[in-house]
């Protein structure tokens, strides 16, 4: 950073803050440059100095430089002793240690904040993070459910809840959580793909039947009006993954399919499944063709029997 000036560094950090960019390595380097510059930063930045300290504290915690974070947090606590925002920062610093006592102290701090403001969404999320770090999945689920009762439209919250359930092999409730995410963001094919893969992991004929339906829905979303990649001329990777999933689901179902028509689970008849399997093979062969120099592509094409 030999050519970097103090005003340039301050401006870059302000840009990161205003755009909410979490480029921790770059931010910490800029912050250390300013701290070592010998300039009176408080006088130079005026009220922006406190936002600067918060920004550097976050970056330092991300990178494990807790001694830097401690210095920033101490200054903020001296200036804003009753600030909830600074208390949250202190709680996150306790989380960084990974020590059980510190984690429990962070929980107590968050509990106190919620007693005064139970609509603080960030604190609910921090509690969930602490419970996960403690290995207490049950409490994490309970807190997240209470949070989503109030903040229903938080898609990321529903995805987190689904992950907690599926990590505990509770696939049915995981699918319920994912259904809320899809309802809130119906045009996102990644959520549909995640739902399909969770149903496939659940297994059983009903699970594979549901997985096939959702894999095909994902394919439909990806192939309907989605622009091809400018460099490869191929469809998005989510589409290929959905076709792979559909192929696997079809092969699981084809032996038990009704020969006359769809059954009560909505599984197509055997002839339709075979046609779908052929279509899946053709689509995958198409996606992996045109790059013959790649041995991995040849393996895929041989594997699908195209």
Dihedral of the alpha carbons of 239, 240, 245, 251, in degrees to the nearest 10: 120
Which tokens hold the place of 274? 């075979």
Whole-number Å distance between alpha carbons of 294 and 143: 48
pLDDT at 265: 64
Single out the residue of 57, 60, 97 nearest to residue 73, CA to CA.
57
Number of Cα atoms under 13 Å in the Cβ half of residue 14: 11
pLDDT at 68: 96
pLDDT at 269: 80
pLDDT at 99: 92
pLDDT at 288: 79
Cβ burial 151-171 (10 Å sphere, 16+ → b, else e): eeebbebbbbbbbbbbeeebb
Which tokens hold the place of 103? 């984690």
Dihedral of alpha carbons 114, 120, 122, 127, sign: positive
pLDDT at 291: 52
pLDDT at 261: 55
Whole-number Å distance between alpha carbons of 216 and 193: 9
pLDDT at 232: 56
DSSP 93-124: HHHHH--HHHHHHHHHHHHHHHHH-TT-HHHH
Dihedral of alpha carbons 171, 172, 175, 176, sign: negative
pLDDT at 290: 63
pLDDT at 272: 86
Mean pLDDT for back-to-back runs of 10 residues, the chain (306 residues): 85 95 95 94 94 97 95 96 93 94 96 92 95 96 96 97 97 98 95 97 93 95 68 72 94 72 68 90 82 60 64
């Amino acid at each position: 950073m030999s050519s970097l000036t103090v005003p340039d560094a301050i401006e870059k950090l302000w840009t990161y803050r205003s755009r909410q960019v979490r480029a921790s390595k770059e931010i910490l380097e800029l912050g250390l440059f300013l701290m070592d510059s010998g300039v009176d930063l408080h006088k130079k930045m005026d009220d922006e100095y406190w936002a600067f300290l918060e920004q550097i504290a976050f970056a330092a915690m991300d990178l494990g430089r807790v001694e830097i974070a401690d210095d920033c947090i101490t200054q903020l606590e001296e200036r804003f002793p009753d600030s909830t925002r600074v208390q949250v920062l202190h709680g996150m610093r306790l989380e960084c240690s990974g020590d059980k006592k510190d984690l429990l102290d962070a929980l107590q701090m968050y509990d106190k904040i919620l007693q005064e403001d139970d609509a603080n969404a960030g604190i609910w999320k921090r509690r969930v993070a602490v419970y996960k770090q403690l290995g207490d999945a049950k409490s994490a689920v309970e807190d997240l459910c209470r949070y989503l009762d109030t903040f229903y439209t938080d898609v990321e919250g529903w995805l987190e809840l689904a992950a907690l359930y599926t990590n505990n092999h509770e696939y049915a409730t995981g699918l319920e959580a994912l259904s809320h995410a899809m309802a809130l963001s119906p045009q996102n094919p990644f959520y549909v793909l995640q739902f399909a893969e969770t149903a496939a992991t659940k297994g059983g004929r009903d699970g594979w039947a549901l997985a096939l339906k959702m894999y095909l829905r994902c394919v439909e979303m990806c192939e309907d009006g989605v622009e091809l990649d400018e460099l490869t001329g191929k469809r998005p990777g989510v589409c290929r993954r959905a076709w792979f999933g559909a192929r696997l689901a079809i092969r699981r179902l084809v032996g038990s399919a009704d020969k006359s028509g769809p059954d009560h689970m909505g599984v197509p008849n055997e002839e339709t499944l075979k046609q779908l399997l052929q279509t899946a093979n053709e689509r995958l062969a198409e996606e992996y063709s045109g790059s013959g120099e790649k041995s991995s592509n040849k393996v895929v094409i041989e594997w699908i029997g195209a």
